A = this chain, B = another copy of it.
């Protein structure tokens, strides 16, 4: 039988609560669709680990993780113990870079049973992808502070874009758009205000677009693009953005379809040189952690994306059908979707529906 090796990293907060549900559904899918999951759990990449060891991960974390077929990740961050930039740069953001997971792929899809905050939108109306550059751009650690502690403090941080980095994410996005029925790509920019990197981004979009004459392309400045997500979400097909803009759009998009609690994401190294990482869009949510009320759908949908990536397309599709069915059942939903189910109840319901 086919075997997939998975590194399982629950992380912090509700990550530890939703991960077992993700694994429950994954194991159920394995038994139904005839493949094996070889799982190895890791306690690092968490603030608990930091408290015990003074760092987010062991120095030999790459060895510890080995060469899994994929990484299944929960959520990281516990700001009361570790500042967010320390916990994130020491874990998730490090994976993205060191494993060169330069594509962050996130669906925006209005699902049945999820109450939509936008008036008059039905499941089927909103269905697009956000393709986010995931390694460079605004997320840099280059810069510093001058005259620290004085009135004259100047703080500088550099945004760094490279031809290689920009072109490869654009290629992925154009390829994806070309496979979609509408063949439509929207680029997020801010070249009117951010006057060096963003005009460059625009140029590369133009240049790449010439290689895809069948893909219709447009661009919006990020300010008005966020407005368009609310006013005309049915207008989009594939939206590509820099690290920061993609980050914003991939929270806003799911919010426009009801909740970020159900949204998944894939951090992909398309060449397969390094493992790709699958995680819900939501964070560790300290405010609701420990109450067993977190919505496990983001984690479970991430499992489906992971299986897709591993070639288990049938199992992935079956999980999505089970997710849709459970979301459409009021009693199986968690409290964020006005249900009363616990995290486990919801996970079990999806495993059963499978």
Contacts and interface: CB of A to CB of B under 8 A. Distances in A.
Give the copy number: 2
B196 A145 contact: yes
A155 interface: yes
Interface string A132-154: 00000011110111000011111
A2 B130 CA distance: 54
B192 A85 contact: yes
A102 to B, nearest CB: 16
Interface stretch (A23-31, A60-68, A219-227): A219-227
B256 A230 contact: yes
A231 B254 CA distance: 11
Given A118-B118, A230-B256, A193 B139 contact: yes
Given A119-B118, A252-B230, A156 B196 contact: yes
A277 interface: no
Nearest to A93: B193
Contacts of A139: 193-195
Given A83-B199, A150-B163, A252-B226, A193 B244 contact: yes
A87 B230 CA distance: 28
A220 to B, nearest CB: 10
A313 interface: no
B155 A157 contact: no
Contacts of A182: none
A116 B117 CA distance: 11
A85 B191 contact: yes
Contacts of A88: 192-193
Contacts of A150: 163
Interface in A62-93: 77, 83-85, 87-89, 93
7 contacts: A88-B193, A118-B230, A139-B195, A141-B196, A143-B196, A153-B163, A223-B252
A303 B152 CA distance: 36
A315 to B, nearest CB: 30
A273 to B, nearest CB: 19
B231 A117 contact: yes
A56 to B, nearest CB: 13
A255 interface: yes
Contacts of A197: 143, 155-157
Nearest to A192: B84
A43 interface: no
Contact of A151 (B85, B164, B193, B250): B164
A161 interface: yes
Given A117-B119, A226-B248, 11 more contacts: A89-B195, A139-B194, A145-B200, A151-B164, A152-B162, A153-B162, A193-B243, A223-B247, A224-B283, A227-B251, A228-B255
A7 B144 CA distance: 40
A157 to B, nearest CB: 4
Nearest to A76: B192
A304 B56 CA distance: 53
B162 A143 contact: no
Contact of A158 (B120, B143, B230): B143
